[in-house]
Chains A and B, each alone.
Chain A
Amino acid sequence: MEGLSLGFYMMVGYAQTHWLVIALFILGAILLNAASVMKFGGLVKQSALKPTLMVGLAIAVVLFLAIPTLSGSSFAFMAYWLDWALLIFMAVGYAIALLLWVHPIVRLVKGV
């Protein structure tokens, strides 16, 4: 229980520390989705889902390869299963969040 509480406040603290980045991300997602909805209607378009997921997958792969270096480390120091679990969690997590930008951008580019 104590570990869960600590983990929760750790995430709250992390979000507070990076509030500006998070706020800009949310604002960008709102603007992009508003633009695509106003132009083409509907929040999600099935015809844009496949390219959205492909771009999301590409982002996850790039993040997987880049995060160790971006965090001042390298693959050479990833010798523990927990390291790989965290790396996958971060890469997939950020990629899923970025779908909020990718999907409206794909729609605007494809005109759907």
Chain B
Amino acid sequence: MSSLSALSGINRRKFLLGGAAAMAAVAGLGAIPARAEQSNAKIVITGAGAAGISIANRLAKALPNANITIIDRRETHYYWPGLTLVATGAWAKSKVLDRNASFMPSRVNWIKEMADVYEPDNKRVITDTGRVVEYDFLVVASGVEYNYDAIEGMDVNAIGQNGLASVYNSPDAAAKTWDAIRKYSVDGGNGIFTLPSTPIRCAGAPLKMTLLTLDRLQQNGGADKAQMSFYSALNGVFGLPWYNDFLLNRFAEHDMDVKFRHELSAVDIGARKATFTQEDGNQFTTEYDLLHVVPPMRAPRSVRESNLAWTEGNMAAGGWLAVDRDTLQHLTYPEVFGCGDVNGTPRGKTAATVKMSVPIVVQNLISVIAGEEPEATFDGYTSCPLLTRFGAAMLIEFDYDGNLTPTYSFIDPKKESWFAWIMKDQMLKPTYLQMLKGNV
């Protein structure tokens, strides 16, 4: 009874703060400055993808008095890293679909609209219904925009028909892409895989699609009737030299035609013709039986057209979010942070990058709320479970500088292994869901 009396005598705020400190410790955060713990700051997160939900969960645990709002209309959560497996027939579409409501912390105010205008000078976001949402602190986690319109004649509604494939657009498009690839893997013909010149989400996906299609050709009997090509708009196919060479050798083993500095600029879907623009501006058109389109990507319009975007440098063209690559704090507006694909940082537009950068953003945001300087630094970690065939993969992890940074030192990132396949096929989605909950 006496202990109950003692408990009832505890100041409610202190009790909540103590709980918050414990939850923060569980969430992997360091000690939280008292000023931040007690803060009732208005924090707005735009985007309910992997980064947005994960940050919301961590902040909800760490800051019991903060007023946290997340802005995103989407009810369905896409597990983007699984789309390559849907598009190559290994997974059912249902396996990459979840409900955002399942992961949204209960004390977060979820506005089911989309951020339309950022006004960082007035510290407010205006949604697409005209609602004005004011903030003290803002986390931009609104992802990427697929710019299919940059490819003349491209129609995402035609994916799956006439040999047109694209893993990126949506789980539906990925499932329809499998329809096109399945037919191609039986019939063979001229198969073309593309890579644009812009930064893209999951830079390994175009390569996985190519390698797994090669495997499907072997399995379904189309290999002898197929001629595959890979047209990259860059100077290579992968950013790390060793893996670039590995992939080019693998393509050569399959007699693939590889071209560099060739960007897909137009497609005639009915006639099955693709037009590529070369570095010197010349164009040439070729026929195809399968065309895997990887769209150019850029920041969402709302970011691109705001004061939050880069205005100079190689990230300006895509309007990517101008954040410091180490602290992920905005370069002009210190109360603004960025996380996930929208960031204008080198490399890394992957779920693995989100996993490692979310704790950095949360910790630095808490420091700024407390009136301190952000000190946590992000090394640019990203990861690509490169599926080299069905049943084998390489677990590649690296940082901004291209240094290999394996989480487990006993895993050789240059060896194809069944272990890495099991990780990708069985373990990474459960880990991703833990990340959404703020545990990983």
Binding site for B on A (CB under 8 A): 2-3, 5-6, 9-10, 12-14, 16-17, 68, 71-74, 77-80, 82-83, 86-87
| Chain B hits for A72, CB < 8 A | 90, 390-391, 421, 425
Q: How far is the CA of A36 from the CA of B191 in the complex (A)?
A: 61
| Chain B hits for A87, CB < 8 A | 418
Q: How far is the CA of A10 from the CA of B439 in the complex (A)?
A: 10
Q: Please classify the interface of chain B as helix (H, G, I), strand (E, B), loop, or mixed, using the class held by over half of its residues.
A: mixed
| Chain B hits for A82, CB < 8 A | 410-412, 417, 419
| Chain A hits for B422, CB < 8 A | 71, 86
Q: Which 3 A/B pairs are nearest by Cβ-Cβ distance? A: A73-B391, A13-B430, A77-B392
Q: Which residue of A lies closest to B391 (CB)?
A: A73
Instruction: Indicate if the CB atoms of A17 and B434 lie closer than 8 Å.
Output: no
Q: How far is the CA of A5 from the CA of B27 in the complex (A)?
A: 11
Instruction: Indicate if the CB atoms of B407 and A3 lie closer than 8 Å.
Output: yes
Q: How far is the CA of A50 from the CA of B440 in the complex (A)?
A: 43
| Chain B hits for A86, CB < 8 A | 418-419, 422
Instruction: Indicate if the CB atoms of A13 and B417 lie closer than 8 Å.
Output: no
Q: How far is the CA of A88 from the CA of B415 in the complex (A)?
A: 19
Instruction: Indicate if the CB atoms of B434 and A79 lie closer than 8 Å.
Output: no
A–B pairs, 12, beta carbons within 8 Å: A5-B440, A9-B431, A10-B430, A10-B440, A13-B431, A72-B390, A72-B421, A73-B391, A73-B421, A77-B391, A77-B417, A79-B416
Give the interface centre of B90, B389, B418 by most chain A CB atoms within 10 Å.
B418
**B408 at interface, CB cutoff 8 A:** yes
| Chain A hits for B431, CB < 8 A | 6, 9-10, 13
Encode B27-68 as 1/0 by CB contact (under 8 A) with A.
010000000000000000000000000000000000000000
| Chain B hits for A78, CB < 8 A | 418
Partner of A77, one of B407, B416, B433, B440: B416
| Chain B hits for A80, CB < 8 A | 412, 415-419
Instruction: Indicate if the CB atoms of B391 and A10 lie closer than 8 Å.
Output: no
Residues in B395-438 with C-beta less than 8 Å from chain A: 407-408, 410-412, 415-419, 421-422, 425-427, 429-434
Q: How far is the CA of A67 from the CA of B392 in the complex (A)?
A: 14
| Chain B hits for A17, CB < 8 A | 429-430, 433
Number of interface residues of B (CB under 8 A): 29
| Chain A hits for B425, CB < 8 A | 71-72
Give, as a whole number of angstroms, the nearest-CB distance from A8 to chain B: 9
Q: How far is the CA of A66 from the CA of B379 in the complex (A)?
A: 41
Q: How far is the CA of A74 from the CA of B215 in the complex (A)?
A: 13
| Chain B hits for A83, CB < 8 A | 417-419
Q: Given A74-B391, A77-B416: A10 and B427 within 8 A (CB)?
A: yes
| Chain A hits for B412, CB < 8 A | 80, 82
Instruction: Indicate if the CB atoms of B434 and A9 lie closer than 8 Å.
Output: yes
Encode B113-141 as 1/0 by CB contact (under 8 A) with A.
00000000000000000000000000000
Instruction: Indicate if the CB atoms of B390 and A73 lie closer than 8 Å.
Output: yes
Instruction: Indicate if the CB atoms of B417 and A6 lie closer than 8 Å.
Output: no
| Chain A hits for B439, CB < 8 A | 9, 12
| Chain A hits for B391, CB < 8 A | 68, 71-74, 77
Q: Given A74-B391, A77-B392, A77-B418: A14 and B427 within 8 A (CB)?
A: yes
Give, as a whole number of angstroms, the nearest-CB distance from A66 to chain B: 14
Q: Given A13-B431, A14-B427, A82-B419: A73 and B392 within 8 A (CB)?
A: yes
| Chain A hits for B417, CB < 8 A | 77, 79-80, 82-83
Q: Given A72-B390, A73-B391, A73-B392: A10 and B434 within 8 A (CB)?
A: yes
Q: How far is the CA of A68 from the CA of B351 in the complex (A)?
A: 27
Q: How far is the CA of A82 from the CA of B432 in the complex (A)?
A: 23
Instruction: Indicate if the CB atoms of A13 and B433 lie closer than 8 Å.
Output: yes
Q: Given A5-B28, A71-B425: A12 and B419 within 8 A (CB)?
A: no
| Chain B hits for A2, CB < 8 A | 407
Instruction: Indicate if the CB atoms of B426 and A71 lie closer than 8 Å.
Output: yes
Give, as a whole number of angstroms, the nearest-CB distance from A69 to chain B: 9
Q: Which residue of A lies closest to B423 (CB)?
A: A10
Give the interface centre of A13, A77, A83 by most chain B CB atoms within 10 Å.
A13
Instruction: Indicate if the CB atoms of A12 and B410 lie closer than 8 Å.
Output: no
Instruction: Indicate if the CB atoms of A79 and B415 lie closer than 8 Å.
Output: yes
Q: How far is the CA of A71 from the CA of B412 in the complex (A)?
A: 21
Q: How far is the CA of A68 from the CA of B28 in the complex (A)?
A: 36
Q: How far is the CA of A83 from the CA of B426 in the complex (A)?
A: 15
| Chain A hits for B426, CB < 8 A | 14, 71
Q: Which residue of B lies closest to A18 (CB)?
A: B430
Give, as a whole number of angstroms, the nearest-CB distance from B209 to chain A: 17
Q: How far is the CA of A78 from the CA of B439 in the complex (A)?
A: 32
| Chain A hits for B429, CB < 8 A | 13, 17
